[in-house]
Amino acid sequence: MFVDQMRSGDLDEVLDIERASFSSPWSRRAFLHELEQNRVAELWVSRSAAGPSEGGGGRVVGYLCLWAIADEVHVTNLAVHPAWRRRGVARHLLGTLLEHYRRRGATRVVLEVRPANSGARRLYRSFGFREIGRRRGYYFDTGEDALLLEAHLTEAPATGVRELPPTLPRFA
């Protein structure tokens, strides 16, 4: 697996994962807006098989979308293909990107998660995220609240990431 920037050519695979993962999936238009128009959005994929030295091919097995604003990162979407779940894809993707943004000067990461999503909550907790609030009625499809989680990158560096993959820029 390796982490790479999402491209519009990845959208068919990303949308398959999105639809399999969420009751109210993002549309192609929403992903295109983030890719092409939202200046603070950065979208990443985790690829299997052919690595960057082989032309960047490989199947999209997961993705992470975020907004990077000043020294803060807001994770907006994270999903893994059902066939690739519980294989460390989300851990690798999140850990790699948290370290990447920590090196870029980010100090804080926030995200929302459904209270019932215990697997995601365990993953986030392992990276030092803690609950700082609740957004009432956040999920419009069910009216469910969202837990607001936060991690300080200066206090809880990304776990399990020693070296950035060659596809990510290095920062001094």
Bin 110: left if φ > 0, else alpha if -120 < ψ < 50, else beta.
beta
Residue 56 CA from chain centroid, whole number: 19
Residue 24 has a CB neighbour count (10 Å cut-off) of 10
What residues pair up with 74 in beta bridges, in sequence order? 67, 110
pLDDT, mean over the chain = 88
Determine, yes or no, domain membership for 158: no
Task: Report pLDDT digits (tens) over 21-53.
Answer: 998 999 999 999 999 999 999 999 999 975 444
Determine, yes or no, domain membership for 114: yes
- Give the CATH number, domain containing residue 62: 3.40.630.30
Place of tokens 């700082």: 132
Catalytic residue among 13, 112, 131, 150: 112
pLDDT at 163: 46
Determine, yes or no, domain membership for 77: yes
Residue 124 bears catalytic tag: yes
Full-model pTM: 0.86
For 28, the domain range is 2-152
Task: Provide the number of structural domains found in the chain.
Answer: 1
Determine, yes or no, domain membership for 38: yes
pLDDT at 101 over 80: yes
- Token output for 23: 């009751």
Mean pLDDT, residues 73-98: 96
pLDDT at 155: 67
Determine, yes or no, domain membership for 163: no
Catalytic residue among 42, 99, 101, 124: 124
DSSP 3-state of 102: helix
Determine, yes or no, domain membership for 39: yes
